[in-house]
Every structure is written in C-alpha cells, then in structure tokens.
Amino acid sequence: MAEGRAQAARRSDERQIALFLDMLAAERGAQANTLSAYRRDLADFGAYLARSGRLFVTAGTQDLRAYLGGQSQRGLRASTVARRLSAVRQFYRFLYSEGLRKDNPAAILEGPRRTRPLPKTLSLDEVDGLLRAAAASAAVAAPLPERLRAARLACLLETLYATGLRVSELVALPMSAARHDARVVVVRGKGNKERMVPLNNAAKNAMAAYLDLLAQSRREAKSKWLFPSFGQSGHLTRQHFARELKPVAAAAGLRANQVSPHVLRHAFASHLLHNGADLRVVQTLLGHADISTTQIYTHVLDERLKSLVRELHPLGEADDPR
C-alpha cells in the first residue's frame, strides 16, 4: 500500500511539472532547450523531496531552503543554484496562481549572491585564424562527403561570426535563409520572436560554396533545413557542431576549451562594440530581450573609451610626471 501511495505521489508531481511546462510553451513561447532545463531542475528538486516523503504540494519554505543549501554544499556553482531557485520560484508561482497551492513557499527565498563572469571570447586574429583553417580544410581535395562536411563547417563558422546567432538558431536555419539574393537572415529566436540579422559577403560566399556541394550530393531536396541531418530533429545538432569545431580549433593553434559556438557569438558582440557599435544595436542583433543581458560586454566599451582617450586627448600620450 505504501508503494502504491508513493507511485501516486510521483505521478501527481509529474502531472504538475507537465502542466507548468505546457504553460511555459503556450504562454511564454519557451523553446525545447528551455523546457528541458526546467524539467531537469524540477525533477532534481522532486527527487530530493521524495527522499524525505514530501511532495510539491506539501513542501514548505524550510524544505526549499534545505534543498538549496544542499546544492551549495555539493559544490555546485552559484549560477547553477540560482537557476534552480528560479525554476522552483516560477513553478510555485504557477501552482499558487492555478489554485493547486494555497500559499507560495518560495516567495521569500533569497538566491545566492553571484558575480557575473566576463564572457570568454577570441581576438580578431584568433577568429581570423579559425576561419582560415576552416576554409583551408574545405579546399582540400577529397571525396564529396568529406568536402561537404568541411564546407558545411566553414559555412557554419562564417555565418555564426557574421551574425552572432545562438547556436540553436544557427543549426535550425531553414533552407529559405540561403536565398542567393539574401542580404539578411530572418531568425526565429527565444520567445518565438523574429529578428533580422545582416549577412556579410564572406558568409554568403561560404554559404554558396556549401550549397553547391549540397546540391551535388542531392540532399537539399530531402530536407527543409539548411544544415540537414539524418537525426531525429532533421537538422544538425548543437553537440555535433561543437564536436566538429574542435579539430579546426587545433588546426588554428587554439586550445579545444578556448573555442565553442557560444564563444564565437561572444566574439561577434565584443568585436562590434570594440569597433564602435551602439550597445542597443548589438542587443537587437543578439536577440536579447533585456539590455542588461547585453551589458556583460561593457568591459569592451570601457577598454575602447580608455583607448580613445589615449589616442585623441592632447595629453593622452604625455608622460605622467608624478
């Protein structure tokens, strides 16, 4: 009988998580990656409660504090604990608004203090070396399948650095994004919001070379995706792209942990700001809903301001007598 009650309790918790995720998808336009992250965090919290015989509907504030305290004791980063706290807060706000709880035990919880680290990025020379290594790999004489993979990677890198897309947006670009006369890419990002991002000539040339090989392989007619794959999604996965990036990074003389698709997105934003782009423009190009997210790059602006003072102030290069 006890086992039956435990199974019923687990099913109840799972139903509530499912309802919460349905709300996020329907009302906030949450994408699959976001929903998966919430599901993992809430499943971890539910497993903790189950070990002490608690349910989502019976847990109190002390249970939540004990869970979060245990997360910190396990050595998890403050950012991970803060993310899980955010998931728990939103979940209990949902349960309360739906009448599934008469109170919100997460309302008074405080998250861990955390400093936002500067984003890892690459210098202009390092990005240039990476792009040249990818182009060189694509130019090697080889069987068609190998040339296609190399051209695809060169196209991915040129497009990523030209646009600053999220890797999930990049790998899921439709074939229509590669029109021959396209000067911009229309991207459907977080919250199902669309934005337009310009394409430079290097990205368009890499895309044309890749599409030529794709046409020779006769794979373009079988998929609506620009980067088709035989996997479940129908397009290249983020993980596959990240794996293919490592050998090219090594060829460019970079360490594997220096380079990832997200690092190239950071490089796109940092280099734009360094060359004088407005922070609001970069916010729009990156698809950030809040300017505070883009402000992680203000260290680039600080360095640029110092450089401008040194270069333009009449005493900027004068020796300081003190």
Give the CATH number of the domain where residue 36 resides.
1.10.150.130
Q: Are both 151 and 55 inside the same structural domain?
A: no
Active-site residue flag, 190: yes
Which residue among 48, 78, 97 closes a domain?
Answer: 97
State the virtual CA torsion across 311, 312, 315, 316 in degrees, nearest 10. Answer: -30
Q: Which of 84, 238, 265, 271 is catalytic?
A: 265
Q: Which amino acid is at 34?
A: T
Q: Are both 221 and 172 inside the same structural domain?
A: yes
Predicted confidence at residue 7, as pLDDT, reads: 67
Domain contains 104: no
Predicted confidence at residue 126, as pLDDT, reads: 94
Q: Which of 54, 188, 288, 304 is catalytic?
A: 288
Domain contains 114: no
Q: Is 184 helix (H, G, I), strand (E, B) or coil?
A: strand
Predicted confidence at residue 2, as pLDDT, reads: 47
Q: What is the pTM of this model?
A: 0.63
Q: Are both 137 and 192 inside the same structural domain?
A: yes
Distance CA 48, CA 152 (A): 44
State the virtual CA torsion across 120, 74, 44, 87 in degrees, nearest 10. Answer: -50
Active-site residue flag, 166: yes
Domain contains 318: no
Q: Are both 211 and 285 inside the same structural domain?
A: yes
Domain contains 250: yes
Q: Are both 85 and 130 inside the same structural domain?
A: no
DSSP H stretches of helix in the chain: 2-28, 32-51, 61-73, 78-97, 124-139, 144-163, 167-171, 201-217, 238-251, 261-274, 279-286, 291-294, 298-312
Domain contains 317: no
User: Phi/psi at 228 (nearest 5 deg)?
Assistant: -70, 155
Q: Which of 190, 195, 240, 246 is catalytic?
A: 190
Q: Is the Cα dihedral 152, 153, 158, 163 positive or negative?
A: positive
Distance CA 321, CA 317 (A): 12
Distance CA 35, CA 122 (A): 30
| pLDDT, tens digit, 9 for 90 and up, residues 156-212 | 999 999 999 999 999 999 988 877 677 888 888 777 788 889 999 999 999 999 999
Q: Are both 15 and 161 inside the same structural domain?
A: no
Active-site residue flag, 262: yes
Q: Are both 137 and 266 inside the same structural domain?
A: yes
Q: What is the CATH number of the domain that holds 174?
A: 1.10.443.10
Q: Are both 297 and 202 inside the same structural domain?
A: yes
Active-site residue flag, 235: no
Stretches where the chain sits below pLDDT 70 are 1-9, 111-119, 180, 219-221, 299-322
Predicted confidence at residue 322, as pLDDT, reads: 41
Predicted confidence at residue 294, as pLDDT, reads: 81
Domain contains 316: no
Q: Which of 48, 92, 210, 297 is catalytic?
A: 297
**How distant is the alpha carbon of residue 10 from its chain centre?**
31
Active-site residue flag, 147: no
Q: Are both 220 and 289 inside the same structural domain?
A: yes
Q: Which of 10, 83, 93, 262 is catalytic?
A: 262
β-sheet bridge partners, residue 188? 194
Q: Which of 166, 235, 238, 266 is catalytic?
A: 166
Domain contains 21: yes
Predicted confidence at residue 275, as pLDDT, reads: 84
Q: Are both 199 and 57 inside the same structural domain?
A: no
Q: What contacts 267, CB < 8 A, 6 or more positions away?
A: 121, 122, 127, 161
Predicted confidence at residue 301, as pLDDT, reads: 56
Q: Are both 70 and 26 inside the same structural domain?
A: yes
Q: What is the DSSP letter of 151?
A: H
Predicted confidence at residue 37, as pLDDT, reads: 92
DSSP H stretches of helix in 140-166: 144-163
Active-site residue flag, 204: no
Q: Which amino acid is at 4?
A: G
Q: Are both 8 and 79 inside the same structural domain?
A: yes
Number of domains observed in the structure of the chain = 2
Domain residue limits at 183 = 124-308
Domain contains 204: yes
Which residue among 62, 97, 132 closes a domain?
Answer: 97
Which residue among 82, 97, 112 closes a domain?
Answer: 97
